[in-house]
Structure 1
Amino acid sequence: MFFFLASASDPSSLQDFCIAVNDLNVTEFINGKFCKDSKLATGDDFFFTGLNVPRNTSNTFGSTATIVSVDIFPALNTLGISFARIDFAPNGLNPPHMHPRASEVFIVLEGTLYGGFVTSNPDNRLISKILHPGDVFVFPAGLIHFQLNVGNTNAIVYAAFGSQNPGRTDIPKALFGSNPPIFTGVLTKAFQVDTNIINDLQAPYRMDNSFQVDKNIINDLQAAFKMDNYY
């Protein structure tokens, strides 16, 4: 009998650090990155600046996430961490999404946010909380989560991830804005709605790669699951 062990987290480091460089002449290659000679490392290699600068939130959702992963900050390679700043305009939304490779620790610096995540099948339970400055909330890896600014002022949060490259999948975009589009028959059966509703959900992505639909469409989708929870 054979047993196989699968790991869903970044591998443990076998050296102090591996600063990623684009240099084919170096000999160390770890986590898909070439490593700078550790003897040449300086404090500047481990330094990142700029997260104090407010981001532009003039977009469809009224929020901007600035992710600092290994691709932006090479010193994170092999360290199993990354971080982000998220800016929210009043009523700004960080839309439902998930990070396939990391849990997230979320701390509010300014503003008031409504944040939550949905547990996996079969419960699909919403766990949520109103968050104020100084509050910390945790979003488990792989679970769909969101944040909404429910205050009257801008909001700022910092987030830390348990991976050097947590990844991100925006749920509405993945389902209705994929390239090429998911076959309509798959979506109509999955959501138990007619083709016109699916077309309406896909249409905004064809125009501007955002997700803005009439509330009646969302109500129709929710009604289908209230009537027949077929999972």
Structure 2
Amino acid sequence: MATLITILIGFFAAFNLSILSVFSYEPAPLQDFCVADPSNQGSVRVNGMACKNPLFVQADDFYYSGLHIPGDTGNSYGYRVSPVTVYQIPGLNTLGLSMMRIDYAQWGSNPPHTHPRATEIFTVLEGTLQVGFITSDPLNRLVTKVLQRGDVFVFPVGLVHFQRNMGHSNATAIAALSSQNPGVISITNSIFGSTPPIETEVLAQAFGVDNKTVHLLKKKFIHV
């Protein structure tokens, strides 16, 4: 990093340019941990939340209990995600990983969505699940497989993916993600339930349907 800064200073000097500021980053951790402190809004954030004073860090900052509890799948999709991100474990702050439990009722599905900031590695604990992701343009190729207990599958960062219970019994999976806050974008909810809404004419043209169909879809997803 010092070499890079030296080169930049030399470049500016050679062309008689003023050096207003130099921005740099450190890809490796500079400390043992940076426990998130949501109450501290005045401190500098290191690609995450402000750091708690390490003198006040406790074991509970790195602990969470609850993934043994099945999620309530009594919704229209028949699935439930129980996340463990930096919001559940403050000690994950800046460490670049998180996890979640997903429960599925019979024939329940986690509909097409993306995680904009994380690759996901997915492990089936119980049941039989069809999983898949779609490659980017121009191929838009569906990569799909049926998984059994103990099987592992990877969803690359940013790609649209889904899971569906094949209906033989309830199903459960654990997923690990390469971000402390991976984010999630549900395809149907984001397109038809955005605030403010996308113009009907834009969606009608994009999906090759009439305005009436778009209105019906908006009514279904606007409050999801």
- TM-score, normalised on structure 2? 0.83
Distance in 2, matches of 1:173 and 1:25, equals: 31
3-state DSSP of counterpart to 1:197: helix
Is 1:171–2:195 an aligned residue pair? no
* Max Rg structure: 2
Q: 1:30-179 to 2 correspondence within 5 Å?
A: 30-179=46-195
1:182 equivalent in alignment to 2:201 = no
Please report the RMSD computed on the Cα atoms of aligned residues, expressed in angstroms: 1.9
Letter of the structure 1 residue corresponding to residue 119 of structure 2: S
- Secondary structure of 1:66 counterpart: strand
Shift in Å, 1:22 = 3.4
| Equivalent position of 1:15 in the other structure | 31
Question: For the residues of structure 2 that align with 1:153 and 1:122, how far apart are their CA atoms?
Answer: 37
Task: From the superposition, tell whether residues 113 and 45 of structure 1 become closer, same or farther in structure 2 (CA, over 3 Å).
Answer: same
Counterparts of 1:25 and 1:71, CA distance in 2: 15
Q: Which moved more, 1:184-193 or 1:26-35?
A: 26-35
Q: 1:26 to 1:204 in 2, by over 3 A?
A: closer
Cα distance in 2, alignment partners of residues 162 and 185 from structure 1: 37
Q: How many residues align?
A: 199
- Using the TM superposition, give the Cα deviation of residue 95 of structure 1 relative to its aligned residue in structure 2, in angstroms: 0.6
Q: Which runs of 5+ in 2 are unaligned?
A: 1-10, 12-26
**Which residue in the other structure is 2:207 paired with?**
191
Instruction: Classify 1:176/1:27 alpha carbon distance in 2 versus 1 (closer, same or farther; 3 Å).
Output: closer
Note the C-alpha offset of 1:12. Answer: 4.1
Question: 1:51–1:197: structure 2 CA closer, same or farther, 3 Å change rule?
Answer: same
TM-score normalised per structure 1? 0.81
Give the Cα separation in 2 of the matches to 1:136 and 1:103. Answer: 13
Give the whole-Å Cα distance in 1 for the aligned partners of 2:74 and 2:147. Answer: 23
SS state at 1:185 partner: helix
- For 1:157 and 1:14, the matched residues in 2 are separated by 34
Divergent runs of 4+, >3 A: 22-29
Residue 23 (structure 1) shift? 4.3
- AA in 2 matched with 1:14: L
Q: Tell me the alpha carbon deviations over residues 104-137 of structure 1, each in whole angstroms, 9 at most, x when there is no partner.
A: 0000000000000000000000000000000000
Letter in 1 for 2:47: N
**Cα distance 1:23–1:190, how it changes in 2: closer, same or farther (>3 A)?**
closer
Paired residue type of 2:220: P
- In 1, the alpha carbon distance for the partners of 2:42 and 2:32 equals 17
SS at match of 1:117: strand
Q: Secondary structure at the match of 2:99?
A: strand
**Structure 1 residues 28, 178: CA separation in 2 closer, same or farther (over 3 Å shift)?**
closer
Shift of 1:28: 6.4
Task: Call closer, same or farther: CA 1:107–1:32 in 2, change over 3 Å.
Answer: closer
